[in-house]
Amino acid sequence: MNSFAPSRPETLPIVQTDALIVGAGPAGLFQAFELGLLGIHAHVIDPLSAAGGQCRELYADKAIYDIPGLPSCTGQELIERLLTQVKPFAPVFHFGELVQSIERIPIKDTNTGLRVQTQTGLCFDAKAVILANGVGAFLPRALNAPEQADFLGKELFHGDLRTALAQYQGLHPTQSTRALRVWIVGGQEDAISNAIQGVQAHSNLEITVIHRRAHLDVGPELSQAFEALLGQSAPAHSPSPSTLSPKPADAPSTLVFKHGQIVHLFSQEEAPDHRLSALQWVDDQGQMHTSQVDLLMVNLGLSPQLGPIAQWGAQMHHKQIKVNTEDFSTDVPGLFAIGDVITYPGKKKLILSGFHEAALASFGVAKWVLQKDRIPFEYTSASSLLQERLGVK
């Protein structure tokens, strides 16, 4: 489930477009550029909050050395350059949207097109769809407790604590002045930043960070800030349960660290609306504990999930889409695919392969969308038409 997607009314208009790109990773961004050169405007969908795919999510600060003409640049820098390059063609980005279904529909001019629907109910009718969804959508890693679905979005959240607190308080207006018991699962940057931000920016929170390892997976700066706050609060590894005694609303927040793993979540009989009220966790000695909780943050990082692409009609091989390497079309009319999501003999999951595939796919898409047998091939260095489209002439 995409926990950060709000539900939408059913009455939203259907977006009509010539081309729709699924995925704003490097391949999807360059696809929008190549289509722009051929005069085709594109919409781009991605469940993340910004463009970049793996480059931004997995190695934003690391250097890449095999981009032609760029001896070295970071993942983030490459994405910024791709966004600058595509700017003249003004693709419309739809972030926070996960493509859920793709089905064939009749469309004027091309006889057949594709209807694409996102998880929140956004709907597009496109003459052509280009899948550039890479290794899948980066969704929050779930807790290993089957009951979590019952509490998701009510007392259990992913992402940042500030947003979660606002959502929690909207759903459960405060009835008592006792401290809010917040548990944060994880030892990586997002978990530790949430804990630090929680103590520094909010009052009256009892924050417990639980991590399966004794050491944190963060840099020295965050680690020191966290240790310093632990020193000011209750002692680390404190076995004492959270206090239930009332506290003034502006009492400083506290921080505790526990080394262990959550195994079960409970809604206690007396808890209103069967809301989450306790969790069971096992410590590093194998001892089981039960603790009270109001709000649970699951900050275990993101993991890519391919989702229902097998139901989108294209032929697959080992969870990857088979393509015709002449134009990167699939066996579904109007459906093209490029980048890490595809397979063909000799395919290499490299950024430059995605760029090459986008260039060839753009000619296939243009033929299909414009219903032409041939699309003129021109150089950007020589063509006044391309330079006009680029806004440099």
Any contact of residue 91 with ligand FAD (CB under 6 A)? no
- Smallest gap from residue 37 Cβ to ligand FAD (A): 18
Minimum gap (Å) between residue 21 Cβ and ligand FAD: 9
Determine, following the binding rule CB under 6 A, whether residue 86 of this chain makes contact with ligand FAD.
no
Among 138, 226, 257, 281, binds ligand FAD (CB under 6 A): 138
Write the interaction track for ligand FAD spanning residues 55-84; mark x where CB under 6 A is met and - where it is not.
x--xx----x-x------------------
Exposure of 123 in the CB half-sphere (CA atoms within 13 A): 11
Q: Indicate which single residue of 17, 54, 277, 299 sits in contact with ligand FAD (rule: CB under 6 A).
A: 54
Tell me the C-alpha distance between 166 and 149, whole Å.
20
Rounded to the nearest whole angstrom, what is the least distance from the CB of residue 108 to ligand FAD in the complex?
26
How many helices (H) and strands (E) in the chain? 8, 21
| Residue-wise DSSP of 152-219 | BTTTEE-S-HHHHHHHHHHHS-----SPEEEEEE-SSHHHHHHHHHHHHH-BSEEEEEEESSSS-SS-
Q: Decide if residue 229 touches ligand FAD (CB under 6 A).
A: no
CB of 385 to ligand FAD, least distance (A): 28
Question: Which of these ranges, 127-135, 149-157, 221-229, 367-375, lies near ligand FAD under the rule CB under 6 A?
Answer: 127-135
Q: How far is the CB of 358 from ligand FAD (least distance, A)?
A: 9
157 with 164: CB under 8 angstroms?
yes
Q: Could you tell me if 126 and 20 are in contact, meaning their C-beta atoms sit under 8 angstroms apart?
A: yes
**Binding string to ligand FAD for residues 333 to 372, with x set by CB under 6 A, is what?**
------xx--------xxxx-x------------------
C-beta of 39 vs 136, nearer to ligand FAD: 136
Contact 41, 89 (CB under 8 A): yes
For ligand FAD, the binding residue among 48, 165, 191, 256 (CB under 6 A) is 48
Q: Which amino acid is at 76?
A: Q
Could you say whether residue 132 binds ligand FAD (CB under 6 A)?
yes
Q: Which of 45, 191, 298, 369 binds ligand FAD (CB under 6 A)?
A: 45
Of 230, 177, 240, 231, give the one whose Cα is nearest residue 203.
177
Backbone angles phi, psi at 303, to 5 degrees: -135, 145
Length of the chain counted residue by residue: 393
Residues in binding contact with ligand FAD, number by CB under 6 A: 35
> Does the footprint of ligand FAD cover residue 307 (CB under 6 A)?
yes
Q: Nearer to ligand FAD by C-beta: 58 or 225?
A: 58
Regarding 130 and contact with ligand FAD (CB under 6 A), the answer is no
Q: Which positions ≥6 away from 258 have C-beta within 8 Å?
A: 208, 209, 210, 211, 237, 281, 283
**Separation of alpha carbons 195 and 184, rounded Å:** 7
| Residues in 250-289 at the binding interface with ligand FAD, rule: CB under 6 A | none
Backbone φ, ψ for residue 174 (5° rounding): -60, 130
CA distance 143 to 186: 10
Footprint on this chain of ligand FAD (rule: CB under 6 A): 22-28, 45-48, 53-55, 58-59, 64, 66, 98-99, 132-138, 307, 339-340, 349-352, 354
